[in-house]
Chains A and B, each alone.
Chain A
């Protein structure tokens, strides 16, 4: 890496752009290669904006992390995503005990998924950082935990399960955002829900899942819920109304309830 430093050569592409005036780009006429992979933002990316727009009571947004025992790996994967997202809420609330509870839940979930070996170092780092109230490190570890689990699933050719982790996390994160926005509605806060590309990505991902996976009751319901959420997002041309935010929140909450149910 130090070799790179010796090759230091800095240019300003921005300056070139300003010299040639306003540049416009048409994605439809793009002559190159489109990378289909989508990086789903972690909840704290949205939470950080909500913090800048006011001081949400994150403690009020925390939810119970006692999840039912299940051997359903589809549900386990989604629950894992939900647990990690709950971790981001706990960090926002700076709640040490809750972070520790979630760290322990991460261990239980990873054990149930057969991934404890790769997850344990991250879970331990979360518990250690919680003792020091090192919120920055905890955020990083939650992000790493989710990536490790998804990478492990993908190495085992469980691509569908890996996507379920992202889905669970996104639903929990979005549920929290709608709750905060509904309590203190403003156009700026509501605009954070303008995420149609992510919803389309999840719908497309479900569409590519195996027939067995698509027939799973929860996946089928998540697909219907996401279609409804996408309609609300696409309908918010002039901005989101409080009702639209509430509707998206209710949909997330009902899907999360189903994910958490023991059935």
Chain B
């Protein structure tokens, strides 16, 4: 005769399975996941008419290490940048500077797995985007930086 597992055992099994489902993707976090979170950050902007570019920057970086990319922007467009991470509990920093080194971000937000920043470039030219991700738990962090315009 088969014995039924106790409620406690069944609950434990369900909790274990659930935690595996939840943690497995994070354990195998990739830059693709980071890009997915950047795209999640982009969703409210798309509703406001922003067109998301398909190309983006991505990579893995040491926690706390600052990164810099140069980007061409055109006066007359409004831009939004979305920084996503595949790692949880990350502290983001995302700032955009003009050629003279003045910060021009007009609205920056961080939220869980991503950060965003909005810019109205005062001139057409090259701008510098500086960002970092910091985690108390993990040393190497996957990131993706995407942008859109309207």
Contacts and interface: CB of A to CB of B under 8 A. Distances in A.
Contacts, number: 157
B130 A25 contact: yes
A241 to B, nearest CB: 16
B61 to A, nearest CB: 7
Contact of B108 (A8, A9, A13): A13
Nearest to B129: A35
A147 B76 CA distance: 25
B102 A10 contact: no
Contact of A24 (B65, B66, B88, B102): B102
Interface in B93-122: 93-95, 97, 100-103, 105-115, 117
Nearest to B105: A14
Main secondary structure of the interface of B (DSSP, over half): strand
A220 B107 CA distance: 44
B10 interface: no
Nearest to B125: A194
Contacts of A156: none
A257 interface: no
A114 interface: no
A5 B61 CA distance: 24
A3 interface: yes
B111 A53 contact: no
Interface residues of B, number: 56
A9 B110 contact: yes
Contact of B74 (A4, A31, A37, A41): A41
Given A5-B112, A32-B66, A25 B72 contact: no
A237 interface: no
Interface in B22-58: 22, 36-37, 40, 51-57
Nearest to B146: A39
B42 to A, nearest CB: 12
Contacts of B97: 25, 27
Given A3-B88, A9-B110, A147-B54, 17 more contacts: A3-B22, A4-B37, A7-B112, A9-B111, A11-B110, A12-B109, A32-B65, A32-B67, A34-B69, A35-B68, A42-B53, A44-B51, A46-B74, A136-B51, A192-B124, A197-B125, A198-B72
Interface of B: 22, 36-37, 40, 51-57, 59, 61, 65-72, 74-77, 88, 93-95, 97, 100-103, 105-115, 117, 123-126, 128, 130, 132, 147, 149-150
- Which 3 interchain pairs have the tightest Cβ spacing? A32-B66, A7-B112, A49-B76
15 contacts: A9-B111, A11-B110, A13-B95, A13-B109, A13-B110, A17-B105, A25-B102, A26-B101, A30-B68, A31-B66, A33-B67, A35-B57, A45-B149, A192-B76, A197-B72
